[in-house]
A and B are shown apart, each in its own frame.
Chain A
Amino acid sequence: MTVLEAREVVSGYGEVEILHGVSVRVEEGEIVTIIGPNGAGKSTLLKTVFGLLPCKRGKVLFGGEDVTGQSPQVMVRKGMCYVPQSDNVFPSLTVQENLEMGAFIRRDDYRPKIEEVLALFPDVLERRHTRAGKLSGGQRQMLALARALMLDPRILLLDEPSASLAPNMVDLVFTKILDINRSGVAIVMVEQNARESLKLSHRGYVLAMGQNRLEGSGESLLNNEEMGKAYLGG
C-alpha cells in the first residue's frame, strides 16, 4: 500500500517556483532516498509534502487520503513526522523534555514510549537530563530522530540526516535509520550523501532543477553510470 505519494507537485517560495511537477511514491515499510544537486528542490519537496510550504499545484496523498495543503499540525496527527536539517532540537530543554514535546499531542501516557524510544538511542538515554544544547552534533541528530518517533509515525520525513556529521556518526545515524525502518516505519529522506544513503534504501529518486530525473531501486541507482558521474561524486 502506498503510504505517501506526491503527484506532480508544483511549489516554491513566494513567487519563485522551485518544483515544476515532481512525483514521488513511498510504499509501506520502504526507505526511499531523494538525491540530486543543490537547488534541485529536494528539501522543498519534503517541506511541501509536510505542509510547511503551500502546494501550488499537484496532490499529496497520505495513505490514500488527499492531504494536499494541510498544515504540519494536521500531518503530525495523521502519522507523518518531520525532522528538519538543522535546529532540530530544543536546546534549552533537556533530552527528556525534548521527547515530551515530541509527544505533546498524545492523549495517552507517553512515558512508556519515551523509554522505548530512548532504548533505541543508548547514547542519548544516559544523558536524559542534560540540556539538548550541550549535546554533540551526533547526539543531537539522534535526539532529533527520537523526538520524531514519539508519535508512532507511519512515515518519517528526514531532511539530510547526515549533514555536518563526522563519518563515524554518519554510519551510526544510518544504522539507526535502518533500525527504525525495521520496526515498521517508512522513511523518505533527502540526502547529499548519495552513496551511503542509497545503500540502505529500497528505492531512490534523483531530482534536478525541480523535476524528476531518475527513479529506481537503490542498487540500480548506485550502479547507474550516468549517475555515477553526475551525482554520486565522492
Chain B
Amino acid sequence: MVRPIAGAAQLVERARHFFSALPDTVIATAVWLFFAALVIWAITSEAQLLVIGIIVGSILALGAIGLTLIYGIMKFANFAHGDTMMLGAYVAFFILTGQVARTAREDAELPWSIGSLPGALDHIGKLTFGYGLIISTVVAAVVIALLLVALNRLVYRPLRQRGSSIVVFAVASLGLAMATRALMLIIWGPDPRVYVSGIHMADKYNLGFTTITLKADQIFMFAVAIVLTTLVYLLLFRTKLGKAMRAVTDNPDLARVSGIDTERVFTWTWVIGGALVAVAGVLLALQAQLNPNLGFVLLLPLFASTILGGIGSPQGALAGAMIVGISQEVSVGIDLSIGGTDILPLAPAYKFSVAVVIMIFMLLLRPQGLFGTKA
C-alpha cells in the first residue's frame, strides 16, 4: 500500500526540487507578474474592486508589519496576533466611550471618558472620527505594548529559558489567543460595536475611464499603512536598535556573543509590535466593526501576507498584504469564464481561502517570501 503513495510523493518532491532549483528570481518575478496582471485586469474591468483590495491590503499590512517583526525576531508564529489587534481596538473603544457590557442588552458606562472632552467626537474633516479616537488609540497602543511586555516576561521568557521549541510557543500563543477572545467576550459581549454609529457616505471620484467610491476613512487607512511601513523600515535600517533587531533575526546566538542584550531587543520588539497591533486593530474596527471573532478570522490572511512578503521584512509585509488583499477582492468580484464554465467570481465564503492557497504556493515554491533571503 505504501509504494504507490511513496511513488506519488517522490514525483511531488522532484517537482519541488525542480522549482526550488529555478533561480529564486524566476519565481519572485512570476509572482510580481501575476500580481501586475491582476491589477491591470482589475483596473480595466472593475476598478472599484482594486480600490477595495487596496483598502483591505492596507489593513492587512498594518497587522502584518507587527506580525512579521514578531515572527522574525521572536521566531515563532504568534497565533494571538489577530485577537490582540481586536483587543487593541476594544481598549481604544473603552477609552473613548467608557462602555463595557453589563448584561446582554445593557452597557455600563464610566462617568467620564475621552469622548467627554469637548469636540472629541467631532469629525476631522471628512473622516468619521475626531481627535478623541486618536488619543484613545495612542493610549490603547501603550496599554497593549505594556500587556505584551508583561506576557513576554510571564510566559515567553520562561519558555525561552527552558529551550522550548517553536511548537511550544505556537501552542502557547494559541491558548493566549483563545483566552484573549474570551476576555473580549466577557468584557464587551458578543454583539458587534462601532466607534461611530450611523451610515457614512462615500465620495465618488471620477478617474476618466471609470468612477470609484472611496470613504475618507479609507484613504486615511491607506496613508497610515504606508507611513507605518516606512517608519518601521527606517527603524530597522537606520537605527541602532533596528539593526540589532535584524541581527537578532539573523542569528540570535551571534548577537549575544557580540554583546547585544537580546532580552532587551525582545522587550522592545513587543513594545513596537504592541503599538503596531493596537493601531492596526483600531483601523480594522473602523473599516469593519468591533467583533471578538474577527481577530482569529483575520489570522490566515495575516499569515499569508507575512509569509508571502518574507518574514522579517516590513516592505514585504506591505507588498504581501496588498497582493493578498487585492487577490481576495478580485477573486470574489470579477467574472471569468473559461470554455463556458464560470471560474470566477468565487463565492464570498471562499475569500479567505484565497489567502490560504496563495500561502501554500509560496511555502512550496519560495518559502523565504518575496523579500526574504534564502536561509
A and B touch in the complex (CB under 8 A): yes
Q: Which residues of A contact B (CB under 8 A)?
A: 50, 52, 72-73, 76-77, 82, 84, 87-93, 97, 100-102, 104-105, 131, 133, 147, 151
Q: Is the CB of B246 within 8 A of A92?
A: yes
Rank and list the top 9 A-B pairs by shortest CB-CB distance, nearest first.
A76-B259, A90-B250, A105-B259, A101-B247, A90-B247, A104-B260, A82-B257, A92-B250, A101-B258
Whether the pair A101, B244 counts as a contact (CB closer than 8 A) is yes
Residues of A within 8 A of B373 (CB): 91-92, 131, 133
In the docked arrangement, what's the CA distance between A133 and B251, Å?
12
> In whole angstroms, what is the CA distance A77 to B240 when docked?
18
Q: Tell me if A93 and B247 are in contact (CB < 8 A).
A: yes
Q: Does B123 contact A (CB under 8 A)?
A: no
Cβ B257 vs Cβ A72 within 8 A: yes
Shortest C-beta distance, B68 to chain A (Å), equals 14
Q: Which residues of B contact A (CB under 8 A)?
A: 240, 243-244, 246-247, 249-251, 253-261, 373
Q: How far is the CB of B57 from chain A (nearest CB, A)?
A: 25
A72 cross-chain contacts in B, Cβ below 8 A: 256-257, 259
Q: Which of B253, B259, B260 contacts A84 (CB 8 A)?
A: B253
Contacts of A147 in B (CB 8 A): 258
Task: Considering the complex, give the chain A residue whose CB is closest to the CB of B243.
Answer: A97
Instruction: Name, among A77, A101, A102, A105, the residue most crowded by chain B CB atoms within 10 Å (CB to CB).
Output: A101
| Contact yes or no, A104 B259, CB < 8 A | yes
Partner of B254, one of A77, A90, A100, A151: A90
A-side contacts of B259, CB under 8 Å: 72-73, 76-77, 104-105, 151
Instruction: Determine how close the nearest CB of chain B comes to the CB of A104; give it in whole angstroms.
Output: 5
Does the CB pair B258–A100 fall under 8 Å? no
Q: Chain B interface mostly helix, strand, loop or mixed?
A: helix
In the complex with contacts A73-B261, A104-B259, A105-B259, A89-B240 CB distance below 8 A: no
**Complex Cα gap A102–B259 (Å):** 8
Q: Number of A-B pairs whose CB atoms are under 8 Å? A: 63
Taking CB atoms, residues of chain A closer than 8 Å to B246 are: 90, 92-93, 97
Residues of B within 8 A of A151 (CB): 259
The answer to whether A102 touches B258, judged by C-beta atoms less than 8 angstroms apart, is: yes
In the complex, the chain B residue whose C-beta lies closest to that of A90 is B250
Contact B257 A87 (CB under 8 A): no
List chain B residues, Cβ under 8 A from A90.
Answer: 246-247, 250-251, 254-255
Jot down 8 A-B pairs with beta carbons below 8 A, ordered by A.
A87-B254, A89-B254, A92-B249, A97-B247, A101-B243, A101-B258, A104-B260, A105-B260
Nearest residue (CB) in A for B250 is A90
Cα distance A151–B257 in the bound complex, in angstroms: 12
Q: A92-B249, A133-B373 are in contact. List 5 more A-B contacts (CB 8 A).
A: A91-B251, A93-B246, A93-B250, A97-B247, A131-B373
Report the nearest A residue to B163, measured CB to CB. Answer: A14
Question: Which of A76, A87, A92, A131 has the most CB atoms of chain B within a 10 A radius of its CB?
Answer: A92
Find chain A residues with CB under 8 A from B244 CB: 101, 104
Residues in A neighbouring B251, C-beta threshold 8 A? 87, 89-91
The complex places the Cα of A131 from the Cα of B246 at a distance, in Å, of: 12
Distance, CA A100 to CA B258, complexed state (A): 10
Contacts of B254 in A (CB 8 A): 84, 87-90
Write out the residue numbers on chain B whose beta carbons fall within 8 Å of the beta carbon of A102.
258
Nearest Cβ distance between residue A95 and chain B, in whole angstroms? Answer: 13
Q: Which of A87, A91, A93, A131 contacts B243 (CB 8 A)?
A: A93
Taking CB atoms, residues of chain A closer than 8 Å to B260 are 73, 101, 104-105
Best-surrounded residue of B250, B253, B256, B259 (most CB of chain A within 10 A): B259
Q: Give the residues in chain A near B240, CB-CB below 8 Å.
A: 100, 104
Chain B residues within 8 Å of A100, by CB? 240, 243
Closest to A106 in B: B259
Nearest-CB residue, chain A, relative to B249: A92
The complex places the Cα of A76 from the Cα of B259 at a distance, in Å, of 6
When C-beta atoms are compared, the residue in chain B nearest to A96 turns out to be B243
Whole-angstrom CA separation of A50 from B254 in the bound complex:
13
A101 near B255 with CB under 8 A, answer yes
Give the Cβ gap from B244 to chain A, nearest Cβ, in Å. 6
A138 to chain B, nearest CB (A): 18
Please indicate the chain B residues that have their CB under 8 angstroms from the CB of A87 in the complex: 251, 253-254
Contacts of A73 in B (CB 8 A): 256, 259-261
Kindly list chain B residues whose C-beta atoms are within 8 Å of the C-beta of A97. Answer: 243, 246-247
With A and B bound together, what is the CA distance between A151 and B260 in angstroms? 12
A84 touches B257 (CB 8 A): yes
Give every chain A residue within 8 A of B256 (Cβ-Cβ).
Answer: 72-73
CA A93 to CA B260, docked complex, whole Å: 15
Give the CA-CA distance A30 to B250 in the complex, in Å. 33
Assembled-state Cα–Cα distance A92/B240 (Å): 15
Q: Bound state CA distance, A91 and B246, in angstroms?
A: 10
Contacts of B261 in A (CB 8 A): 73
What residues of B have a CB within 8 angstroms of the CB of A91 in the complex? 250-251, 373
- Tell me the complex Cα distance, A205–B244, Å: 37
| Bound CA–CA A180/B101 (angstroms) | 69
Which residue of chain B lies nearest to A133 when distances are taken between CB atoms in the complex?
B373
Distance (whole angstroms) from the CB of A73 to the closest CB of chain B: 6
